[in-house]
Amino acid sequence: MVRPFHDPQLRFRSAPRLETDRLVLRDLELSDLDYFLRIFQDEDVTRFIGGLNDSENTFRKMMAGKAFWPLTGVGMWAVERKSDEATIGHLGFFDFLRPIEPPISNHPEMGWIFAPEAQGQGLASEACCAALDWFEAHFGKQDIHALISPGNDASMRLAERLGFERRTDGTYRDQPQTMWVRPA
């Protein structure tokens, strides 16, 4: 089934390059694996995204982020800091067909993860705003969902700055989730 936000005529085969004053959002590359391994083996980061991952599962997560583009026309970007070309985060749009209540399948979902050393500098907001502007330019104004684990206050504050509104909380994989929507 073609998702409502996936216009086959607008299918992007890879992540388009986006630039901001301080950042480059680009396609994931094999060299980003070091960043992914560091992030998904950091207890402070992973406590909100399902826990620590071994190298095999981490590599699968990275490949899935890249594979979304040719399959669905949206996906994940690596976020690179211009000043030193370091990968400091990743973000994007997707539909994981999550078995979640309330359901959000067939609607765009946005997610973001940033390295601890990149937090508190406005970099996540800058990157997410660029991605949201790109999405709206290509797919129009639509409700965009986000799931944020309870206790992830920094991510909730970012969601609010991006225009997301907290809705009725949900359950995903038997765990409570805060549910957010950025209204069209």
Q: What is the pLDDT of residue 153?
A: 95
The domain limits of the chain are 8-142
Confidence band, pLDDT 50/70/90 cuts, at residue 105? confident
Mean pLDDT, all residues of the chain = 91
pLDDT of residue 97: 86
Average pLDDT (75-93) is 97
Res. 106: pLDDT tops 50: yes
Kindly write down the DSSP assignment for every residue of the chain, as one continuous string.
---TT--GGG--SSPPPEE-SSEEEE---GGGHHHHHHHHT-HHHHTTTTS---HHHHHHHHHHHHHHHHHHS--EEEEEETTT--EEEEEEEE-----EES--TTS-EEEEEE-GGGTTTTHHHHHHHHHHHHHHHHH-S--EEEEE-TT-HHHHHHHHHTT-EE-S-EEETTEEEEEEEE--
Average pLDDT over residues 47-59: 88
pLDDT digits (tens, 9 = 90+) for 138-163: 888 999 999 999 999 999 999 999 99
- pLDDT for the residue 8: 60
Q: Which CATH superfamily is domain 8-142 in?
A: Gcn5-related N-acetyltransferase (GNAT) (3.40.630.30)
Confidence check: pLDDT of 173 > 90:
no
50 pLDDT tier (thresholds 50, 70, 90): confident
Q: Which pLDDT value is given to residue 9? A: 64
At residue 73, the pLDDT reads 87
Residue 3 has pLDDT above 80, yes or no: no
pLDDT at 72: 85
Predicted pLDDT of residue 15: 95
Q: How confident is the model at residue 10 (pLDDT cuts 50, 70, 90)?
A: low
